[in-house]
Amino acid sequence: MSRIAAIQMSSCDQVEVNLEVTQDLVNQAVDQGAELVILPENFALLASEKLLAASKKEVTERGPIRSFVSGLAREKKVWIIAGSVPVAAKPDTGSSEAEAETARVRAACFVYDNRGQQQARYDKIHLFDVDVGDAHGSYRESEVIEPGAKLVTVDTPVGRVGLSICYDLRFPELYRLLADMGAEIITVPSAFTAKTGAAHWHSLLRARAIENICYLIAPNQSGKHSMNRESYGHSMIVDPWGQIIGELPAGQGVVIADLDLAYLRSLRAKMPVQQHRFFRQIKK
């Protein structure tokens, strides 16, 4: 059995404030015995208009957000999956200085081990370009974010983890491929809106867990971030049978659960759905 923690936050547009909350909640998780802690999407900054400026400081591991998480992992001797950090996308070599100034951002999920060393990076692939019909109205993530294109898994003390972010959850083929790559646990750090979350959050998380017989760890943002932006909360941990084994409906806090990989492997042996797929794709 391995203990993991999903962190739920109500991040704002002030990095320093958000990092103070992050430190407090990670401390709480470690005090409860967590070996792996997963932060939500945009944990350090939830403000689209400030992402580009913040991203230019995070191009190297010495960036304030990246160095903070690395130091926290080292200090607390815990693995941390840092939801998403804005990192400036590299401009084309032929880009002008003006074009470089308006370059887009990668939403990068960094994985740090208990020595504070970076072990993996995943850049969000699917971007949230939708009309929700809430107070915010339209979301056009691609106006600021540049998509990634590479699937990532990483071996950790609690098992092999597949990385995804928020809107990725609506694309089951991504999760199938992560399972093909050996993922037994898949993380979904999110800032799911209140409206779409109420409609689909539980259903999608449970479906991805059931389809792939894996644990789903989904730390979400919660509550009001501004006058017109609100996140759903309900950070949760779902087991390979689709049962919710940890959930925090609202507010900031920690969701703790113990993962049993022997149970997961037993289920996969009894119901080998990956091998039964008629339309099987193997990513080389």
The number of angstroms, rounded, from the C-alpha of 9 to the middle of its chain's C-alpha atoms is: 13
d(CA 10, CA 153) in angstroms, rounded, equals 27
140-177 exposure pattern, b = at least 16 Cβ within 10 A, e = fewer:
ebeebbbebeebbbbebebbbbbbbbbbbbeeeebbbb
Q: Which of 41, 141, 146, 230 is catalytic?
A: 41
- 67 touches 110 (CB < 8 A): no
50 tagged catalytic: no
Give the pairing of strands 222-224 and 230-232.
Answer: antiparallel
Q: Which of 166, 184, 214, 230 is catalytic?
A: 166
Q: Which amino acid is at 188?
A: V
Q: Which of 124, 146, 184, 230 is catalytic?
A: 124
d(CA 265, CA 204) in angstroms, rounded, equals 22
214 tagged catalytic: no
16 tagged catalytic: no
Indicate which residues carry an active-site annotation.
Answer: 41, 124, 166
